[in-house]
Amino acid sequence: MTARPDLPTAVCVMDPAIAGQVLPARLRARLSASVRLAPGPAPSAPRATFPAQFAEAEILISGWGCPRLTAGVLDRAPRLRAVMHAAGTVKSLVSDAVWERGIVVSSAADANAGPVIAYTLALITLAARRTLTMAARYGAGWPRADDRSGADGSTVGIVGASRIGRGVLAGLRGSDAGHRLLLTDPWVTDEEARRLGAQRVELAELCRRSAVVSVHTPLLPETTGLLDAEMLGLVPDGGVLINTARGAVVDTEALTRECVSGRLEAYLDVTDPEPLPAGHPLLSLPHVLVTPHIAGAQGSEVQRLGRYAVAEVERWLTGAPLLGAVTREALPHLA
């Protein structure tokens, strides 16, 4: 089927290794009903590049591996009016030149949030039972009843009322485990925290009272190293740290000391640096689980991001509000 010449031109630019999973044939067919989809980078390309058709593009569908949209790059795409990012953060993608040219930006971060929320809720269930510690002790004998801990009634501290942080709170609030929920976020009021089902407290109090601390704040200058030696030292013995946000929010050296001592458990889907160097102590501790950034959409799940981006294209073409709109003002505070 030949695309109508009057349709706007869209170009998909992302790592060729993932493009076919994000935008499989059926999604490309759906997209082709609304736009003239120009060929993207060749599958043999080592990483995403901008094809010659970028010069005609009015819409860019970007994803992991898309080069940064600098002024020089945008000079090659004078007709570009919208960027639909079929992934999460756009911080590494957009430059000031994007905003200066009035280009609309949307991110599929909401579509990526669902898997992260589900993954984090599963980790909290494991963490409340001190699963890693109990598994490591299995070889030494069956644990006594007073050595066991259950999930019901645990105090869980959420650091950051981001979209994922709010989703985790909603999941915990909707469970029958009776968790006591604490929240720290400088932009959230006491009343808003109550509506989220949590008590708003300062970070130090949250660390002091929580059996499980789960990190969901974006990485900003003021949140870099937020959970430092002092804050981690306040978490009670046997406490657990979960980080599915950004590695640099946690002081890696301080966390390593706490975990090497056996005082804290940790579930880390992100680290600083990322990846951790071979032989790093956190990689071999039995009560620490380090995973390679798998909380977000994986495998067939990445189609969620493609569906979201295609729907945003359709909304934009009809003049409907974009659900994933990103503004210049909001970008510094996003993940």
**Is residue 1 over pLDDT 50?**
no
Q: Residue 151 — pLDDT band, cuts 50, 70, 90?
A: low
- The pLDDT of residue 221 is 92
**Is residue 143 over pLDDT 90?**
no
pLDDT in tens, 66-115: 999 999 999 999 999 999 999 988 999 999 999 999 999 999 999 989 99
| Claim to verify: residue 258 and residue 283 sit in the same structural domain | yes
Instruction: Please choose, from the candidates 119, 88, 110, 64, the residue with its C-alpha nearest in 3D space to the C-alpha of residue 291.
Output: 119
Domain assignment present for 139: yes
Phi, psi of 208, rounded to the nearest 5 degrees = -65, -35
Pairing of strands 240-243, 9-13: unpaired
Instruction: Please choose, from the candidates 217, 171, 169, the residue with its C-alpha nearest in 3D space to the C-alpha of residue 192.
Output: 169
| Claim to verify: residue 19 and residue 143 sit in the same structural domain | no
Report, as an integer, the average pLDDT of 156-182.
95
| Claim to verify: residue 33 and residue 143 sit in the same structural domain | no
- The pLDDT of residue 45 is 60
Active-site entry in 56, 58, 205, 274: 274
d(CA 294, CA 21): 16
Which DSSP symbol is given to 225?
A: T
Q: Residue 5 — pLDDT band, cuts 50, 70, 90?
A: low
Report, as an integer, the average pLDDT of 183-199.
97
Q: Tell me whether residue 274 is one of the annotated catalytic residues.
A: yes
d(CA 328, CA 47): 27
Q: Tell me whether residue 246 is one of the annotated catalytic residues.
A: yes
| Claim to verify: residue 46 and residue 191 sit in the same structural domain | no
Report, as an integer, the average pLDDT of 225-238.
97
Active-site entry in 166, 216, 246, 287: 246
- The pLDDT of residue 42 is 62
| Claim to verify: residue 14 and residue 102 sit in the same structural domain | yes
Domain assignment present for 2: no
**Is residue 228 over pLDDT 90?**
yes
Domain assignment present for 186: yes
Q: Residue 256 — pLDDT band, cuts 50, 70, 90?
A: very high
- The pLDDT of residue 47 is 67
| Claim to verify: residue 27 and residue 63 sit in the same structural domain | yes
DSSP string, 290-304: E-SS-SS--GGGGHH
- Where are the alpha helices (H) located in 67-159, listed in sequence order? 71-75, 96-100, 109-128, 131-137
Report, as an integer, the average pLDDT of 127-147.
88
- The pLDDT of residue 297 is 83
Q: Kindly state the tokens that stand for 69.
A: 């949209």
Domain tally for the chain? Answer: 2
**Is residue 4 over pLDDT 70?**
no
Domain assignment present for 308: yes
Q: Tell me whether residue 85 is one of the annotated catalytic residues.
A: no
User: Across all residues in the chain, what is the average pLDDT?
Assistant: 93
Domain assignment present for 1: no
| Claim to verify: residue 77 and residue 139 sit in the same structural domain | no
Domain assignment present for 54: yes
One-letter amino acid for residue 276 of the chain: L
| Claim to verify: residue 205 and residue 188 sit in the same structural domain | yes
- Helices 109-128 and 303-318 pack at an angle, to 10 degrees, of 140
| Claim to verify: residue 121 and residue 78 sit in the same structural domain | no
Q: Tell me the CATH number at 321.
A: 3.40.50.720
Q: Give Cβ neighbours of residue 311 (< 8 Å, ≥ 6 apart).
A: 323
- The pLDDT of residue 43 is 60
- Neighbour count for residue 86 (Cβ, 10 Å): 31
**Is residue 3 over pLDDT 80?**
no
**Is residue 296 over pLDDT 90?**
no
| Claim to verify: residue 213 and residue 172 sit in the same structural domain | yes
| Claim to verify: residue 95 and residue 79 sit in the same structural domain | yes
Domain assignment present for 4: no
Active-site entry in 137, 180, 293, 315: 293
Domain assignment present for 3: no
Contact by Cβ (8 Å): 295, 120? yes
| Claim to verify: residue 147 and residue 283 sit in the same structural domain | yes
Domain that holds residue 269: 112-290
- The pLDDT of residue 312 is 98
Q: Give Cβ neighbours of residue 328 (< 8 Å, ≥ 6 apart).
A: 99
pTM of structure: 0.85
